[in-house]
């Protein structure tokens, strides 16, 4: 057989390599995506936490500067913040003179400052609590109330809270950095400016002497700026939330004469008052300082950047994983394909060689190799049986035909008279020839599935009696006792003619292989939903190694036996086919030197009702 050329794209090895490469690419891509996504999320969370820590550090230091006129004593605050956040914190003046540092002395500063600490000019976008004016609300300066003023304002605030409560408005009290007590709405109402008329006594919002004095000084500092902007320098200003806190119920600071002015004049007045306020508060706050932040190892803050080198590492790692996957798959695929190639080569050998393959593994490939070897062995055995069948059929037909031809030729030549004895011999040979042909026809019909059965209820005891009567003469001639036994009254659902044929073949073999004075027993008994028919003899028996072959065609335990001494070799195969057609089974058991037992099992039938 010419070997089949398999296209490269259809080879199992190539398919396995492609599949493994796709799996590796997908797994690498999925792993890389998951790693990047996880790392990015972790970095964002870490950066968010770092940003929150940085804002907290700046707020703490800005608060320190807002409540101290200088930076003396800030070292303890710096160390506490560094220990809590794990960051290096350093404060310097604007000319890089070190004020405080959490790192050991002599450690170099980061190249750039992280922020500027100036409570009078805070970062209004990142500084918690910073006001739109850009001044830290904790800078109080001359606006801090005295103890007596604080007590009086607190009493007024509690009185107003009680009044609000009587009108169904819930409020809480809080104290601003200046010492003023203010009210906070808790109901989240839309009209937060609403004040019940009985509560609007104006006392809580009245300036104290300290606030009035500080406000007058602020007005004096803003006079020159207001004059330059063409505004009335004598218009009084009131306190604003940037001085007393964010609370809604605190005093508001807006130049009264600008309430209805244009936006340009409003901005000019606001800038003048802001500059004057910074000038007024400057003596009460620490000087401007530069804030330097570093990592926990006193180095720079870590930044994640997928540089070309990092990209090369990622690509290299992915390529290495892909290469290892392909290499491992190639090794495994080669080991897998090698026995398949051996199977293919063995299958392509000429049929008469019956090639086998070595079984080297116990996996699916090894099982396949064993199945292939078993198939080759069965094919070899079937081929031998086919050849033996042809030879046996030729022999079985040739012998009677040769005898008939010889007797006819000598009779034609006048050498022998056609007397009754000759005619009887010719008739016997014709019967033998007819029996062989009938057996072959039955086997052919069984193989083709055209064996016809005419089922009907059959009494087992009557069936055995008919078979025994038909073979009584042959048994008596051979000196063999033939008897029947029936346990109960079993009935069969079978074709009585074919069943007598099957039992007759068994009885004929049993009588042939039983010596004189032996016994052949036919037994019928019920076996659940089946009926068991047994033909037992006390003959020579069958060897254990020959027992599996007794139902094969033309098989004889002794090859030296002739057609007349060993039968045609077709009786038992016909028995098995007849049982299969009935939906039953045929079994054989034997003990050499003791005898054999052939058992037929067929479906039981319900006894017919007497009419």
Q: What residue ranges do the domains of the chain occupy? A: 1-110+288-341, 141-284, 349-449, 451-603
Smallest CA-to-CA distance from 240 within 279, 214, 268, 209 is with 214
Cβ contacts of residue 29 below 8 Å, gap of 6+?
Answer: none
d(CA 364, CA 367): 5
pLDDT(132) > 50: no
User: Which residues are bridge partners to 485 per DSSP?
Assistant: 523
Look at residue 289 in the predicted model and tell me its pLDDT: 93
pLDDT(248) > 60: no
Q: Which of 179-183, 260-264, 554-558 has the highest mean pLDDT?
A: 179-183
Cβ contacts of residue 203 below 8 Å, gap of 6+?
Answer: 156
Residues 493, 533 contacting (CB under 8 angstroms): no
- Please classify residue 223 by burial: count the beta carbons closer than 10 Å to its beta carbon, then call 0-12 exposed, 13-18 middle and 19+ buried: middle
List, as own/partner pairs, every contact residues 544-547 make where C-beta atoms lie below 8 angstroms and the sequence separation is at least 24, other chains included. 544/592, 547/588, 547/589, 547/590
Smallest CA-to-CA distance from 236 within 260, 221, 215, 251 is with 215
pLDDT(401) > 70: yes
pLDDT(260) > 70: no
Smallest CA-to-CA distance from 158 within 193, 187, 186, 183 is with 183
User: Which residues are bridge partners to 600 per DSSP?
Assistant: 533, 586
Smallest CA-to-CA distance from 600 within 589, 585, 590 is with 585
Element (DSSP H or E) covering residue 52: helix 12-67
Look at residue 593 in the predicted model and tell me its pLDDT: 85
Can you tell me the mean pLDDT for 324-341?
A: 76
Residues 206, 256 contacting (CB under 8 angstroms): no
What is the 8-class DSSP label of residue 246? S
Q: Comparing 8-12, 203-207, 539-543, 571-575, which segment has the lowest mean pLDDT?
A: 8-12
Smallest CA-to-CA distance from 96 within 111, 82, 86 is with 111
Look at residue 191 in the predicted model and tell me its pLDDT: 44
Question: Does residue 564 come out as left (phi exceeding 0), alpha (psi in the -120 to 50 range) or beta?
Answer: alpha
pLDDT band at residue 292 under the 50/70/90 scheme? very high
Neighbours of 233 (CB within 10 A): 15
Average predicted confidence (pLDDT) for the chain: 78
Q: Comparing 77-86, 132-141, 503-512, which segment has the lowest mean pLDDT?
A: 132-141
Look at residue 301 in the predicted model and tell me its pLDDT: 45
pLDDT(126) > 90: no
pLDDT band at residue 262 under the 50/70/90 scheme? low
pLDDT(232) > 60: yes
Q: Render pLDDT for 436-482 as a digit per residue (tens, 0 to 9).
A: 777 677 767 766 666 678 889 999 999 999 989 888 988 999 999 99
DSSP β-ladder status, 585-591 and 481-486: unpaired
Query: Does domain 451-603 fall into CATH 3.30.565.10?
Result: yes
Look at residue 564 in the predicted model and tell me its pLDDT: 46
CATH topology (fold) of 349-449: Helix Hairpins (1.10.287)
């Amino acid at each position: 057989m010419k070997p089949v050329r398999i296209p490269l794209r259809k080879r199992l090895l190539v398919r396995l390599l492609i599949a493994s490469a796709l799996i590796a690419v997908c797994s690498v891509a999925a792993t890389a995506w998951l790693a990047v996504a996880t790392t990015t999320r972790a970095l964002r969370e870490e950066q968010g936490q770092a940003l929150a820590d940085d804002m907290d550090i700046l707020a703490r230091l800005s608060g320190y500067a807002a409540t101290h006129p200088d930076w003396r004593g800030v070292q303890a605050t710096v160390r506490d913040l560094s220990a809590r956040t794990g960051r290096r914190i350093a404060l310097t003046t604007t000319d890089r003179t070190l004020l405080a540092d959490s790192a050991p002395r002599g450690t170099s500063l980061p190249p750039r400052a992280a922020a500027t600490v100036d409570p009078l000019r805070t970062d209004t976008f990142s500084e918690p609590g910073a006001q739109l004016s850009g001044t830290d609300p904790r800078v109080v300066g001359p606006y801090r109330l005295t103890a007596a003023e604080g007590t009086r304002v607190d009493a007024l605030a509690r009185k107003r809270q009680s009044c609000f409560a009587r009108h169904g408005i819930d409020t809480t009290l809080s104290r601003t950095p200046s010492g003023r007590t203010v009210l906070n709405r808790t109901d989240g109402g839309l009209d937060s400016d609403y004040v019940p008329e009985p509560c609007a006594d104006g006392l809580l919002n009245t300036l104290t002497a300290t606030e009035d004095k500080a406000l007058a000084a602020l007005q004096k500092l803003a006079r020159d700026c207001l004059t330059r902007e063409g505004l009335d320098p004598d218009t009084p200003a009131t306190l604003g939330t940037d001085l007393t806190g964010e609370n809604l119920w605190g005093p508001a600071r807006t130049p009264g004469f600008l309430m209805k002015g244009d936006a340009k004049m409003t901005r000019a007045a606001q800038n003048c008052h802001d500059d004057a306020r910074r000038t007024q508060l400057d003596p009460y706050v620490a000087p401007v300082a530069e804030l330097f932040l570093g990592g926990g190892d006193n180095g720079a803050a870590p930044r994640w950047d997928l540089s070309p080198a990092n990209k090369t590492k990622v690509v290299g790692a992915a390529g290495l994983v892909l290469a290892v996957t392909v290499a491992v798959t190639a090794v495994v695929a080669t080991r897998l394909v090698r026995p398949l190639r051996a199977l293919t080569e063995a299958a392509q050998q000429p049929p008469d060689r019956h090639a086998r393959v070595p079984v080297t593994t116990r996996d699916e490939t090894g099982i396949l190799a064993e199945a292939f070897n078993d198939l080759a062995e069965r094919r070899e055995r079937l081929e031998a049986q086919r050849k033996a069948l042809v030879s046996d059929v030729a022999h079985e037909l040739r012998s009677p035909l040769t005898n008939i031809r010889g007797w006819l030729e000598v009779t034609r030549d006048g050498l022998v008279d056609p007397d009754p004895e000759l005619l009887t011999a010719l008739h016997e040979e014709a019967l033998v020839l007819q029996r062989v042909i009938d057996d072959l026809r039955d086997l052919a019909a069984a193989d083709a599935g055209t064996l016809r059965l005419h089922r009907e209820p059959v009494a087992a005891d009557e069936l055995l009696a008919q078979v025994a009567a038909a073979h009584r003469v042959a048994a008596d001639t051979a000196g063999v006792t033939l008897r029947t036994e029936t346990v109960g009254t079993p009935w069969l659902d079978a074709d009585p003619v074919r069943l007598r044929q099957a039992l007759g073949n068994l009885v004929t073999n049993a009588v042939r292989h039983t010596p004189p004075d032996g016994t052949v027993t036919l037994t019928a008994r019920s076996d659940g939903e089946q009926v068991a028919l047994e033909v037992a003899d006390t003959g020579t028996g069958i060897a254990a190694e020959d027992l599996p072959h007794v139902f094969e065609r033309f098989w004889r335990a002794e090859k030296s036996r002739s057609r007349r001494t060993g039968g045609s070799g077709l009786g038992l195969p016909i028995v098995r086919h007849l049982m299969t057609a009935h939906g039953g089974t045929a079994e054989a058991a034997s003990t050499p030197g003791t005898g054999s037992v052939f058992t037929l099992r067929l479906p039981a039938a319900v006894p017919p009702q007497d009419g």
